[in-house]
Amino acid sequence: MTLTERTELHRLPKRGSHDPAAIHAILDAGFLAHVGFCAGGQPGQPKQPFVIPTLYGREGDTLYLHGSAASRMLKELDGGAPACVTVTLVDGLVLARSAFHHSMNYRSVMAFGTARRTDDPAAKTHALRVIAEHLMAGRWETVRAPYEKELKATAVLAFTIEEASAKIRTGPPLDDEEDYDLPIWAGVLPLQLTAGAPLPDPRLANGAEPPEYVLRYRPARG
């Protein structure tokens, strides 16, 4: 990954990092990304910005994205449009003594790059496997593989991370020194994603039990 002013950290740079290991750890702990790009617009008119949520899978410095072959996002990105992909994990609400200093503890990644469409059936199947295993390790081996028509109806993009930065906030509130004596509770309310008990499909085949990887699933913490 290269670094330019796009990923230079101007606001609270001490919270930032360009370390690939830190960036990968955050991407691996998440599974929902928001993809920003510009598209559409009449001749002579500027394109309009869009931000689309999507699942992803990571392999090295490549993020695999997928969706309907008719997806505007995937068509635009396949056309070489530059994109920005963000992933944010919220770890807690930071409650300060003053309204101004409220914040949150978080881990986030902002990545810039371009995408290329994957049309080869084997490469497309591999990308879908990476996405599925990123979401739920062990799932791919226990489900039916995609039919040829399903692969044709699905568009897969390989988004190459050209540059990226991570930003992390941890710890208690940072109040003004004169506010620390105020009789106001302050601290952190931790938040985390948790998995509940599996809910069976009403049309589940007789004898089908939830696999161990579902019962033992715990969201990654990074």
User: If you write DSSP's letter for every residue of the chain in order, what string do you get?
Assistant: ----GGG---SSGGGEE--HHHHHHHHHH--EEEEEEEE---TTSPPEEEEEEEE-EEETTEEEEEEETT-HHHHHHHTT--EEEEEEEEEEEEE-SSSTT-EEEEEEEEEEEEEEE--SHHHHHHHHHHHHHHHSTT-GGGSPPPPHHHHHHEEEEEEEEEEEEEEEE-SS----GGGTTSS---EEEE-----------TTPPTT----HHHHT------
Residue with tokens 């696999």: 211
Choose between 45 and 1: higher pLDDT: 45
Q: Which are the contacts of 128, defined by CB distance < 8 A and separation ≥ 6? A: 64, 66, 146, 154, 156
**All domains in the chain, ordered by first residue:** 5-174 (2.30.110.10)
pLDDT of residue 1: 60
What local confidence, expressed as pLDDT, does residue 209 receive?
93
**Mean pLDDT across the stretch 28-36?**
96
* Residue 2 pLDDT greater than 70, yes or no: no
User: What does pTM read for this prediction?
Assistant: 0.88
For range 68-85, the mean pLDDT: 83
Summarize pLDDT for 98-138 with one digit per residue, the tens. Answer: 999 999 999 999 999 999 998 899 999 999 999 999 999 99
Q: Report, as an integer, the average pLDDT of 69-90.
A: 86
Q: Residue 42: what residue type?
A: Q
Q: What is the pLDDT of residues 153-202, one digit of tens each?
A: 999 999 999 999 999 999 999 999 999 999 999 999 999 999 999 999 99
Q: Contact, 221 vs 29, CB < 8 A? A: yes
